[in-house]
Amino acid sequence: MARYYDPTSPLSKRGEEWEAKLLSNIQSAGWYAVDSWEYITQIRPHFSNIQKAKITQRIGDILSKGSSSDYYFECVVCLHENILANTPYDTGIFPVSKIDNFKSQPEKSKEMWYAFLISSDGTGNNGEEIYIKAETWNAYASKMPSKVIKGREYKLFKPSHLRGIVKSVSSFDQIIS
């Protein structure tokens, strides 16, 4: 089966809700932040959606500028344990392609962060926020069990995995400076 993006799926909707909330929160705190898809569309209006998608795989969902670095956030929603218990699944899924493509570039002052939301209500609007540097999560996630869904490899993880990362922070304010 071919890989595809379904913007109407519950997973996609949760991710977009979380991305919009985080973008708004960063901007409300006075930091420059922009949706990466919109940014690419502004500077490269002739790019196809496939070209934009390939770029956002490398730079994430949100671009933000601090005083010393650029910050890139990839938004990921994981359902809370209580919600997972009521589904056929007992884990969240994380695409291996993100591990392969989303990496910090310290030589260019580019910091890459995963912005996880452990959804308490099944949406991307409410829950526990956990931020983990890309190199930390990528190393950790690469050791997790895998599952192939519709021809795409995913790592399986639980909210407890996110909470167990010592090098995590609970707010974007602890990152952007």
> Is position 89 within any domain?
yes
Give the amino acid at 127. Answer: G
Neighbours of 118 (CB within 10 A): 22
> Is position 172 within any domain?
no
Instruction: List pLDDT tens digits, range 45-85.
Output: 999 999 998 999 999 999 998 887 899 999 999 887 766 66
C-alpha distance from residue 72 to each of 53, 80, 81, 115 (Å): 15, 25, 27, 10
Q: Given its phi and psi angles, is residue 13 left (phi above 0), alpha (psi -120 to 50 degrees) or beta? A: alpha
Residues in a beta bridge with 75: 115
Give the rounded percent of residues in the chain with a pLDDT score beyond 90.
60
User: Could you tell me the residue range of the domain that residue 93 belongs to?
Assistant: 10-163
Between CA 119 and CA 33 the distance in angstroms is 23
| Verdict on whether the full-model pTM lies above 0.95 | no
DSSP 63-130: EEE-SS-EEEEEEEEEE-HHHHTTSS-SSEEEEHHHHHH---BGGGTEEEEEEEEEESSSSSSSEEEE
C-alpha distance from residue 24 to each of 85, 128, 140 (Å): 31, 17, 29
User: Could you give the angle at the alpha carbon of 16 between the alpha carbons of 13 and 19, nearest 5°?
Assistant: 150
How high is the mean pLDDT of the chain? 88
> Is position 36 within any domain?
yes
> Is position 53 within any domain?
yes
CATH value at residue 80: 3.40.1350.10
Q: Residue 156 above 70 pLDDT?
A: yes
> Is position 76 within any domain?
yes
Residue with tokens 């056929």: 88
Residue 55: the pLDDT is 93
Q: Which residues, at least 6 apart from 134, have a Cβ–Cβ distance to it below 8 Å?
A: 74, 102, 103, 104, 112, 113, 114
- What domain count does the chain have? 1
> Is position 86 within any domain?
yes
DSSP 142: T
